[in-house]
Chain A
Amino acid sequence: MTATLAELKESLKHEEIINCMRCGFCLQACPTYKLSLHEPKSPRGRIALARAVAEGHLTLDQITGPLDQCIGCRACEVACPAGVHYGTILEAARATIVEHKHQGTLEKLVRKVGLKWVLGTPGGIKLGAFGLWFWQVTGLSWLARRTGLVKAVAGKAVAEMEAAMPKVPSPIKRFMGGGSGHVFPAIGEQRAKVGFFTGCIQEITFWKENRDAIALLQNAGCEVLIVPGQGCCGAVHTHTGEEGTSHDQAKRNIAAFEKCQIDYVVNAAGGCGAALKEYKLWLARDPEWAQRAAKFSASCRDISEILLALPPIPMGPRPGRVTLQDSCHMRNVQKLVSEPRKMLARVPALEFVEIGNADSCCGAGGVYNITQPETANAIGKDKAGRVKATGAQELVVTNPPCQLHMRASLMRSGMDKEGVRVVHIATVLRESMDAAKSQKK
């Protein structure tokens, strides 16, 4: 497919591209630049490449590689003095590339089945959870790992992620623990009605972490509804250039939550939360949806954010030394930096140390660790070394891809055998809350 230059300019968002004044302040914020010291692996370089295509100096094919290597952490947006929306440029470039690229049969299949059917529909997500549970519980996982089948079929990166995957709870446990449509009553005086956004990967692999977050909300005086009809947030689709599918996710979720009488949309996944808060930008040019999206985005809260705003829950001692890795999209897009730290500071006996570069990506980047394992693992390895240097026994995270990637990174460094764990902030807070309750008894 060939596009005219005017069409390319429009679809690559040349209007936004030219706001880059090339000062280079973004370089030191960029994890892939710091690793390579190469300009095409920096935000300034990538914007220059998108611009070169929009102005007819390069073809889309020529810039696909450098753009694929961007993790999309968006730390550059925080560093940029000119306020350039790098995320907008990156997503536009990826969507344009996908639109114009000839895809192989395998890529077409992965995109259609994985992104559109499984993650793109609520039913697909449930099926995915069941499939993964079945895979783990029947011993297929063990067998495939022992025979090297996963590695042979899907590659080393997927095999390592598969091995790092926590045990998925059984369908019965999931049903008993409150699934779609379930209402968890407020404990004590009711202060707010919350619609819980579960996320797709989060609800499959970190189901318990979502239940920890819900328990915290209940104890903070929230009635929590797992809103039926919700699906994936769509972030994974924007990362992979599937703009249309991502907007479908946004519309489905907005419509699902609009049906319920709630004050807030709450989630425990920093990356998903960022996407939900950006629905207002995604759909800004859609007359039917712009206002509804703005209203929805305004009601979204991260679990740390809302717990800080509500009366404090009694917390009991939960000893140990921990460090925290920020979720990039929670920090750089949602701009929530102090919130998780303030919540951890409320936990008695918990010793918190900063990792030193919590603002720099761990390398997970949604599906980046699968598409670009070499870079992702090099960054993950560096991060694991920094965790070790803090002497922390636990790395606290706020986003499922970071949790999965850092679990794999600690395993590769052998730190899991030394007892170092990756733990979601909701789990830490819930255990502290439970400690207070058992003290009371």
Chain B
Amino acid sequence: MGDAALIQALQGIVGEQHVLHSPADLAAYAVDATPLLRSLPTVVVFPGSTAEVKAILELATAQGVPVIPRGAASNLSGGTIAINAGIMLNMNRMNQIIEIDAANLTATVEPGVTTAQLAREADARGLFYPPDPGSQVISTMGGNVAENAGGLRGLKYGVTRDYVMGLEAVLPNGAVLRTGGKNAKDVAGYDLTRLLVGSEGTLAVITEVTVKLIPKPETKRAALAVFNALEDAARAVARIIESRIIPCTLEIMDQGTIKAVEDFAHVGLPTDAAAVLLIEQDGARAVVDSDIELAGKICREEGARAVSVAATVEEGTKLAEARRFALPALARLRPTCVLEDATVPRSNLAEMIRFINATAKKYNLTICTFGHAGDGNLHPTCPCDERDHEEIERVEHAFAEIFDKALSLGGTITGEHGVGISKQDYLEWKIGEAGVAVSRGIKAAFDPANILNPGKVLPKATRKRLVVRQG
């Protein structure tokens, strides 16, 4: 089937107005939020129902055409780049909240509903959907499930995976799969729900999501602590958690990030400080008050040179501003912003940040680190210029060392951004030969014709691990 016949067949399924194929249309869908990647799809399609998704997948399988499911394309791992051309399958027309079930505390949504839209609707009913990926204003629930999106609240509340209870998904052969449901307990067969969460659009196209909601916390308070030594901040993090406090956010910014934030937003951070911790707790007022006071006390005991504890929710929002400005501040420094998500057990936080700084120095780069200290999920961020190929090569070398170090500390190559194209050659480092083999088996079972997001996640060639010299 030629491109023209494919376009015509798709128009027959979804209607002419829901198919884009002009050169400009294709160019706009050639990119996602990942730096450096660009590849044109053959055609862009907007299905309006599960039945239409089914018909599209049946057509694609019959014709052997790749299908790339796409939400808001805010991912940072090249997950929605059409590397082998094919059908860009946009799920954003399916954007209705089907139901919020207050009796069962669940929400059922179409995949194109944005994370923020669901959070807002839940909030209006006194309920809470905790996962809050950085791009929640635009990211879609389908995309969040496919990428197993994280966010700032991971430590206390977990990530998307911990909220998905049931899915409807269409397999490449057109079969409609329903997994899980509204039952808190359900051990009927393999846990296909969890298998599809984080499958990055390579196994099935998600057409409906049922998530768990929880009661909205009564209140929230914040504290900000400034440290002269990275180790002190890391020790404070460990001690806060040892003291049986699980803050809803526990964020760290290193010196480079502090400087960038201060230059950009003038929020009053001391630029000679080595680290800043933002601690937020939510819940019942009495618990929140005692937790945040104790966390502040621990920070002081561990050598914090200044601790501000917000008296009100508004004051807390003000304190949290510094952390919110981290990405905008770093993104402005240079044209390109490589934002990674190497993750380590939190006991290795200080060592990891030190290593990142040393690696940046070694490769003559600026790498600023901020991130979710509580769950060890760091965001080493490298402002650079993609037009400078020599610099980009140094960036790649530096991050290869950083991923290697994270693994040697018992961490992982990606905490929340996914594998996509960016990390596929590192995957075997993390999951091993056996992991790769069983993953290939799973892929073949779901998608024998290899039409769903082909060329992603599974390694093409495994990178040789770098030998990191000690000392």
Contact = CB atoms under 8 A, between A and B. Distances in A.
A260 B137 CA distance: 48
Given A28-B138, A40-B20, A21 B28 contact: no
A372 B44 CA distance: 24
A27 interface: yes
Contact of B33 (A21, A28, A49, A62): A21
Contacts, number: 87
A153 interface: no
Nearest to B92: A37
Q: Which of B28, B32, B137, B332 has most A Cβ within 10 Å?
A: B28
A88 to B, nearest CB: 15
B33 A23 contact: yes
Interface in B20-77: 20, 22-25, 27-35, 44, 46, 72-74
A49 B27 contact: yes
A57 B24 CA distance: 10
A52 B138 contact: no
B28 A40 contact: yes
B337 A62 contact: no
Contact of A28 (B73, B137, B335): B137
Nearest to A41: B28
A65 B328 contact: no
B328 A63 contact: no
Given A40-B28, A82-B331, A27 B33 contact: no
Given A18-B386, A18-B387, A24 B24 contact: no
B114 interface: yes
Contacts of B11: none
A83 interface: yes
Interface in A56-109: 57-58, 62-63, 65-66, 79, 81-83
A49 B24 contact: yes
A130 interface: no
A358 interface: no
A66 B35 CA distance: 23
A291 interface: no
A55 to B, nearest CB: 9
Interface of A: 18-19, 21-25, 27-28, 37-40, 42, 45-46, 48-49, 52, 57-58, 62-63, 65-66, 79, 81-83
28 contacts: A18-B387, A19-B335, A21-B336, A22-B34, A24-B135, A25-B137, A27-B72, A27-B138, A28-B116, A37-B46, A37-B90, A37-B92, A38-B20, A38-B25, A39-B25, A39-B44, A39-B73, A40-B28, A45-B28, A48-B31, A52-B30, A62-B24, A63-B24, A79-B137, A81-B331, A82-B328, A82-B332, A82-B337
9 A-B pairs closest in CB distance: A45-B28, A82-B331, A81-B328, A40-B28, A39-B28, A18-B335, A52-B27, A24-B74, A62-B24
Interface of B: 20, 22-25, 27-35, 44, 46, 72-74, 90, 92-93, 95, 114, 116, 135, 137-138, 327-328, 331-332, 335-337, 385-387
